[in-house]
Structure 1
Amino acid sequence: MTVTVRGERRRLERPQSGKGSAGPKTRRSRGDGRIAAGFLAPSIGGFAIFTLIPIGASLVVAFTIWPLTGVPTFAGFANFIKLLTDDKKFLQSLGNTFVFVAAYVPLNLTLSLALATWISPRIRGRNAYRVLLFIPVVTPMVANAAVWQIMLVPGGLVDGIWQSVFGVHAPNFLGSESFAMASVVLMSLWQGLGYNLLVFASALEAVPENLLEAASLDGAGTASQFFRIKLPLISPAIFFGATMTLITSFQVFAQPFVLTAGGPGNSTTTLVMYLYTSGFQFHKLGYASAIGVLLFLIILLVSGIVFAVQKKMVHYE
């Protein structure tokens, strides 16, 4: 096709068809997609086999009466009704779990934030402190609990120190209903404190120095700078730490299982412990699956509440 512009004849090239121009790019993007799918396939397959399928199977089994060596029978909501209305041990385990969460989560967040505030300035040896406080996090939980059991039993390290200081035997921390849950909380704090400490310390170091300098020039003291500048700016990190700590604390198992075996008198039996004993000691697979479903719903509800609250309390830049 030709046109005349100011006496000159020019030829206009006809645009290529969409198929021809986009063909190489389309083929390249498809090839990239296949390569990405190939790399992701092992992770997706593992997630489906070891997470999605077991969750779905557990949901189905929860509506059955299924002894480990017998034939399952459909029971409807019978397992859930029995758990919520007729199983005192389940209700006690539920209460113990909430007691642990109510004690552990605030203490973990408060202590880790306090230690992070102490370590975050450029003090001498702060990296060594971080390593020392983070070592329990990467140490096997069962090994830590076994060491604490050896220290807390009558005649152990704590009892020996107590006798040398006060002249009498220490209380039976693991055999008394008054001290057993406190011992589990204390051991769990020692185990999990370092994770949130690193998260909070990293967030504190990311606070802009110019904001703190401007506040100092305006007469703001250390406490005022912390509560009015640092704390709002690190609130996303605190929200992350609180959410993860809540979820993991509801699933507490190894600490009471090793330290106290759920005793004395079921005073430290948690929901996951009761799930374990129901499924693998008493061979009630349907009943154990129902406990797991209820625990999942509790965690989902609590997480939803936390996410609803964070809209008003978390400051995003």
Structure 2
Amino acid sequence: MASVEIRVPSRSSKLKRLFYKDGTWAFLLLLPNLLGFLAFTFLPVIASFFLSFTSWDMLSPIQWVGMENYAGLIHDETFIKVFWNTLYFSAVSVPLGIVLALFLAVALDQNIKFKKFYRAAYFLPVISSMVAVAVVWQWIYNPEYGILNYFLGFFGIKGPDWLTSTVWAMPAVIITSVWKNIGFNMLLFLAGLQAISESYYEAADMDGARWHHKFRYITVPLLSPTTFFVTVMSVIGSFQVFDTVFLMTQGGPARSTSVIVHYLYETAFKYFNMGYASAMAYVLFFLVLLITLFQFWRQKKWGIY
């Protein structure tokens, strides 16, 4: 009687079949997102890099101009102005937003009444439409009927024409932007505060430390990873600001609030100079990249290893 040999699949072959089966399903499930990334992110990035070396108005044939667009930016007075406006916006809004968000987070991390309500209230502007926020703040800044100038009048101060003044328009935009985004940074700081062990504060209480000592020597050092992350994200976001400027001032008056992204938008979709706008976009990209790399290089100063 002939013997029948039964072959039992090895464990490794089962794992391989399971891997290939799961890998196929994983690829199929990721495919829509991958196609969207390729079509709307990767390919446009590559195309814009090519366009930055060309002259194209979307109607005429594309003409290769080499580094002419990048050289033109150096002598473009408007670009230089919006570049400094962007630095001004970032230099003021980033520290202001971080400091206020930190103090809000510390205050709302205490055992106070209606704590959840306050947290939701401060986070509400983050999820609010920028159009609605711009309309509300334009009313607040109204020189005749605005509540801000009305409040300043109680102290004998004549409020300025906020959004039509070359001096006060940018501070007005900065205040609106900080108010709009402060809830997001506050939430990140709250998460960082939750990760700090109460044992540090209990030991400080036993040593008779006051609240400002605990804040300086416990809270701030242990929040350094969160602070570093918030700083990096805030700087990147500040260099990409557009909607606040576009909705509130349109870059005016006299381009006193126009920033790089706003000028880029006008160059591309108002004047249809796609090559020049693409060059501007890549200058902004490398500027943000260099600043971010510098922040990571200096991260040891934050106590992050």
Tell me the TM-score normalized by structure 2.
0.93
**Structure 2 counterpart of 1:61, one-letter code:** L
Q: Which amino acid aligns with 2:146?
A: L
- Displacement after TM superposition at 1:218 (Å): 2.5
User: 1:302 is matched with which residue?
Assistant: 291
The residue number in structure 2 matching 1:6 is none
Residues 1:130 and 2:119 are matched in the alignment = yes
Residues 158 and 170 in structure 1, CA contact (< 8 A), matched pair in contact too: no
Distance, in Å, in 1 between the alignment partners of 2:44 and 2:160 is: 43
The answer to whether the 8 Å contact 2:55/2:274 transfers is yes
Q: What CA distance in whole angstroms lies between the structure 1 residues aligned with 2:193 and 2:151?
A: 38
Alignment of 1:73-152 (within 5 A): 73-84=63-74, 86-152=75-141
Moved more, 138-147 or 155-164: 155-164
Matches within 5 A, 1:1-317: 20-84=10-74, 86-158=75-147, 161-162=150-151, 165=154, 170-315=159-304
Structure 2 CA distance for aligned equivalents of residues 159 and 130 of structure 1: 24
Amino acid at match of 1:77: M
Deviation at 1:78, TM superposition (A): 0.1
Provide the C-alpha distance between the structure 2 equivalents of 1:293 and 1:160, rounded to a whole number of angstroms: 41
Q: 1:160 to 1:112 in 2, by over 3 A?
A: closer
| Greater Cα offset, 159-168 or 26-35 | 159-168
Question: How many angstroms does 1:165 deviate by?
Answer: 2.3
Corresponding letter in the other structure for 1:150? W
> Using the alignment, how far apart are the partners of 1:179 and 1:160 within structure 2?
13
Code of the aligned partner of 2:162: F
Deviates more, 1:151-160 or 1:70-79: 151-160
- One-letter amino acid of the structure 2 residue matched with residue 82 of structure 1: G
Cα deviation, residue 164, structure 1: 5.4
Residue by residue over 1:213-257, the C-alpha shift from the partner in whole angstroms, topping out at 9 and shown as x without a partner, is 112213332222222122121111111111111111101111111
Tell me the CA shift for residue 103 of structure 1: 0.3
Cα separation, 2, equivalents of 1:303 and 1:168? 41
| Mapped contact 1:145–1:259 kept (Cα < 8 A) | yes
Instruction: Answer with 271-280 or 155-164: which moved more.
Output: 155-164
What does the per-residue CA deviation read over 1:160-179, in whole Å, with 9 as the maximum and x for residues that have no partner?
61585256752101111110
Q: RMSD over aligned Cα, in angstroms? A: 1.8
Is the deviation greater in 91-100 or in 133-142?
133-142
Larger radius of gyration: 1
CA deviation after TM superposition for structure 1 residue 183, in Å: 0.2
Which has the larger displacement, 38-47 or 279-288? 38-47
Listed as ranges, the gaps of 5+ residues in structure 1 are 1-15
